[in-house]
Structure 1
Amino acid sequence: MEYFLHILVIAGIYIILTLGLNLIVGFTGLPSLGHIAFACVGAYASSLLALNYGISPWLGLVSGACIASLSGLVVGFASIRLKGDYLALATFGLGVIIYAVSKNWVDLTRGPMGLPGIPGFSLPGFEIQAVWTYLMLVIVFVFITPCIINRIAHSPFGRILKSIREDELASLSMGKDINKYKLLVFVIGAFFAGIAGSLYAHYITFIDPSSFTPMESIAVLLMVVFGGMGSMKGSFLGALILVIFPEMLRFLGMPGSVDAPLRQMIYGLLLIILIIKRPQGIVGKYRF
């Protein structure tokens, strides 16, 4: 039972990541392949503040999210004039750079050795240690995040984001500063990624660069595409299915030598079938 609750906690963290990326990719139409880098920044910032300065994980979570949003500002400012494949490559390069920094700046991040002993969250007179208590905490953030993003998506700001997705020239002709809106959406998406990274760090109590490889960014993007771009429900479905389903395949009772390869083959086959049969995702409104 505790293992199942653990998987739900991880799925909830990925839902927050997916919702933030969906705002960038699904609602604004900007191909971003480095989203996990913002989670990495948030996780390391929150962890280092708690370990080195004794700052409360709650303040660390907010600080980590803000620092992650600043990194989103830097990335957006550096790549905002790029489009299509070039923007995708630039954001992927960001993920590679952040991963390399976390792995090689040993004096700060301890490199491959990672950061052990990260303190968990606590309330007055109550330690959030049991898996079910942490699941309750993650559920609170999973409830708050879509509420905020839904308000953004259905506000005048969100309608401008959708107009950028559909036709940038039309948005420009209406006098909208599309570069400013692109920059802001990167900052917002990075903020939520920073929250997810901080939640992960204080839950696992140990982080190292292997948790934030560039391939993790591809996995989060797959969740957005699988569930459906431009759809809040799609973010939930994509994250839940692609986190829980591979774990369910562990219980097929196959020999250890073929278990992992066969699970990956089944997983990949289902993705290919979905892309062919329904390229906009399960409940998607927009085909990238």
Structure 2
Amino acid sequence: MFSSLVQQIMPKFIMQRTVYEVREKHSNMYSWVALIFANILVEIPYHLVLGIITFAIFNYTVFGIRSPEDQGLALLFFTYFYVLVGTFAVMVTAPLPDATTAGRITTVLFSMMILFTGVFQTPTALPGFWIFMYRVSPMTYLVGGVSVSGLSGDPVVCSQSELAVFQPPAGDTCGSYMQPYLEQGATGTLLNPSAAANCSYCPLQYADQILARSGMYYQDRWRDWALGFAYIAFNILATFVLYSLLRLGLLGSGFNKVKQLFRRKKAAQ
């Protein structure tokens, strides 16, 4: 969905920007600030509709019926995702010459955001240099928030190959033999405590144990959603900064002013 949405937004923005820079800018019909704001705001209703549709399709087919809070939070995450994608697409496209270049850069950036969410590689297993990508990637908090909203508290059902099967001492049942270990806070579940042979032990009880390996915790769900606004705000702010520096020539004029200042100092000496 990310790539498809971005590829549709970028050409539209390039077209609107071209009209502004060729005609509207010189006629003073509206400013470049209005251009960027309009292109961001006009997409938001579509993002909200897409978020609701995605929630209806994904949530009930994958997560099923959960508490109203969990379902509501999942809906908020899905709508936030599309708003994030829209602002990200405009941010990358605004300073660049064409949609092709913007598309290639966006693909690289999105790939990095996905790779460092803690799913493909747990945070503790990441090389020290790359741990910062796990922390700054918006997808870390999006994937974590959606996952805990839909999976937290669900029991883990081990397949036959994942079970630890062992034999208890003669005269003991599986439950009596494992009781001291289970009372010490074992993380797994004994499936047949009354059996006297072939004790089956699943090393996990709840989905939260799996999610914790990737740094995803149920108590952080609302924090993860709130952080999304920081990323959206950053995308919007960066759009204005990058456009003003690279399309309006403020960066070049700034360098020229610095050069002139140095020349004046040398001439004065």
When normalised by structure 1's length, the TM-score is 0.30
Answer with 1 or 2: which has the greater Rg.
Answer: 2
TM-score, L = length of structure 2 = 0.31
> Where is the helix percentage greater, Structure 1 or Structure 2?
1
